[in-house]
Amino acid sequence: MKRASLMIAVLILSLTAFAQQREGGRGGGRGGAGFGGRGRPASTMDSSPKLFDTQEYKIRVVTIAENLVYPYCLTFLPDGTMLVAESEGRIRVVKDGKLQPEPITGIPKVYFVGGQAGLMDLAPHPKFNDNHWLYFTYNKPGDMGATMAIGRGKLEGNQLTEVKDIFVTNAWGTGNGHLSARIAFGRDGMLYMALADHNLLPEVAKGTSHAGKVLSVSDEGKPPASSPLGKGFLPEIYAMGFRNPHALVQDPHTNDFWEVEHGDEINIVKMGGNYGWPFVTSGEGDPIGPPPAGSKMTGPYMQQFPQLNISGLTIYNGDKFPKWKGNVFVGGLATQQVHRVVPGNGTPANREPLFVNLGQRVRDVRTGPDGYLYFTTDDPMGRVMRIEPQ
């Protein structure tokens, strides 16, 4: 009898957990996990300033905001206000250096898996002061699992209004890995989206699938007339062959984009390019076979061994570190670092870690309008941190 009761109890707990996993997190609240749960335990990193010596500067790393739940990205509004995307589906506000207690409301339900899926990226419209449009990428739940989508809302005070999806990708699946989606406005006014393969490897090579592609749409979500990759490709497909993009930033001098792969590549994305996946890899992942005959593929700008698990990228244009102007900074998840890359002719001219083993994984890196470098940490008690000269 006791054994039967125990088995019934275990069955009830299992069904309850399964139901909670399928539900996903809800925007604006601390919803349940996705198919894979909340993620790793919180770290115990303290909040004291941390001092480091680099090749060019002595730096100090300070905490700006803490107790954030998997802060996936940060961005800045024209007035200097910082917005932080928590993966569970909240947008937090940092104003005048202080984390505001209430999140911005209006984000739709997200499919959340700690450190893997949820609310991903934020991008104000280039004419934000006129229209107040804020764009975001998130993992959208549905009957077929989840996919990556671009949403948009008008930021009015502390809420998003007129919220709607302007583009929903067709990379639906039930896998918990490779769900990243990053966005950036180009100088042409188009909105570019880099999305992971969602573990749908054969789909990456297909012109009818969004998996593992960089897409181009208007600020209303409309595709261009045709794809630069030619016939057989959806018109919004701008480039292909990506495994797990974790940043997308336009080059300040060209129309190309810098993209980082979680498998430790930095790519320079050109219109119509094919970057190899799932047939070629620099390290992580298992290719599915040799590339089709006649395929033209572009190799990475930088490969990293041992792996940093690169995430986030910024091209520094501030005034607090004059010697770093034009340098590229990326985060390292596995090594808990920010890594500096000095661009050279087709390959980095110099590289250095600013620090390693910080205490939390570095998820996103951005240049602030005040000239400092900012980054978020990937943790259930994550932070926004700032790099300053000593």
- Top pLDDT among 296 and 75 is at 75
Residue 194, strand partner residues: 182, 214
The answer on pLDDT for 26 being more than 70 is: no
- Top pLDDT among 279 and 16 is at 279
DSSP at 13: H
The answer on pLDDT for 58 being more than 50 is: yes
Q: How confident is residue 383, by pLDDT bands cut at 50, 70 and 90?
A: very high
Q: Which residue has the tokens 């275990």?
A: 10
Residue 162, pLDDT score: 98
Sign of CA dihedral 325, 331, 337, 341: negative
Residue 30, pLDDT score: 38
The vertex-174 CA angle with 171 and 178, nearest 5°, equals 60
The vertex-95 CA angle with 92 and 99, nearest 5°, equals 50
The mean-pLDDT minimum among 1-15, 57-71, 238-252 falls in 1-15
19 within domain boundaries: no
373 within domain boundaries: yes
119 within domain boundaries: yes
128 within domain boundaries: yes
CATH assignment at residue 32: 2.120.10.30
Amino acid at 34: G
The answer on pLDDT for 3 being more than 50 is: no
Residue 283, pLDDT score: 65
Q: Which domain holds residue 67?
A: 24-389
CB atoms inside a 10 Å sphere around CB 120: 25
Buried b (16+ CB within 10 A) or exposed e, 18-53: eeebebbbbbbeebbbbbbbbbeeebebeeeebebe
d(CA 11, CA 16): 9
302 within domain boundaries: yes
Among all residues, which ones are annotated catalytic? 178
The answer on pLDDT for 5 being more than 60 is: no
282 within domain boundaries: yes
Residue 286, pLDDT score: 76
The answer on pLDDT for 159 being more than 90 is: yes
The vertex-183 CA angle with 334 and 364, nearest 5°, equals 30
The answer on pLDDT for 211 being more than 80 is: yes
Q: Say if CB 59 and CB 354 are below 8 A apart.
A: yes
- Top pLDDT among 280 and 16 is at 280
pLDDT average, residue stretch 268-279: 96
17 within domain boundaries: no
The answer on pLDDT for 144 being more than 90 is: yes
Q: How confident is residue 2, by pLDDT bands cut at 50, 70 and 90?
A: very low
The answer on pLDDT for 354 being more than 50 is: yes
Q: How confident is residue 18, by pLDDT bands cut at 50, 70 and 90?
A: very low
The answer on pLDDT for 80 being more than 50 is: yes
Residue 137, pLDDT score: 98
Residue 374, pLDDT score: 98
The answer on pLDDT for 214 being more than 50 is: yes
166 within domain boundaries: yes
d(CA 237, CA 230): 10
Average pLDDT across the chain, whole number: 90
pLDDT average, residue stretch 109-115: 92
Question: DSSP letters along 261-297, please?
Answer: ETTTEEEEE-TT-B--TTT--SSSS---SSPPTT---
pLDDT average, residue stretch 13-24: 37
Residue 38, pLDDT score: 52
Buried b (16+ CB within 10 A) or exposed e, 250-282: beeeeebbbbbbbbbbbbbbeeebbbbbbbbbb
Residue 372, pLDDT score: 98
Residue 191, pLDDT score: 98
Sign of CA dihedral 20, 26, 29, 34: positive
How does strand 213-217 pair with strand 237-240?
antiparallel
Total domain count, the chain? 1
The answer on pLDDT for 130 being more than 80 is: yes
The answer on pLDDT for 8 being more than 70 is: no
List of residues 6+ apart from 75 with CB closer than 8 A: 82, 83, 122, 123, 124, 366
Cα-flanking dihedrals φ and ψ of residue 334, to 5°?
Answer: -65, -35
